[in-house]
Structure 1
């Protein structure tokens, strides 16, 4: 799997270098149409190589998609957090109930059950000494 990932990254790098070499021409980007920027004071333009514009636009699109999905899935994360807290609480309650109900409720029953648990194979209850 690591080798396949390495090949994928190498191919991606080759494609990106090819795009960069093919699009080295300088382009002018304007923030506003025509001469509207002069009314706001300043030129509001920048000259960049085309490949840089492509890569920045791609990165901005990926970032916008990431933020969009993060916000869209917020209610799933909140619900998972609530359910996790509820599961933790219920597991603690079940553990407490197991501890409380696993122990014998009555000492007399514990004494009566003890010989049956500790009896050796081949012995029966009649051969055990009677409890007073």
Structure 2
């Protein structure tokens, strides 16, 4: 199903191609993430993740953890740890989070792979776009 492309979304996509990665969920462009290379890997700040889908962000300095809501999922990051909690279940991003000047930085590909697994979505990656598509639930799927 094709969606109508507005001037705003076209300008937004052109801007995103120059400076970051476009995130698409179920054929709707939800935003762009500006990435930063750290040790040769692409990372992005958690504040961008919360901003993308109108989520929230809460940092607990004593526990050194940050909790973000994104597309209905509660995600908890720990500093310098490759494991994250998504809705209470642990997932391994493959690379640890980093504490940088902009705040907590998350590995781009590792995070979205974990998010897709945790939320039963299919993920497709190209050089400048990450597409998340909700999978149809099968009859008898007990996970809800």
TM-score, normalised via structure 1 length: 0.22
Structure with the greater alpha carbon radius of gyration: 1
Structure with higher strand content: 2
Structure with higher helix content: 1
TM-score, normalised via structure 2 length: 0.21
Q: Which has the higher contact order (CA 8 A, sep 6+)?
A: 2
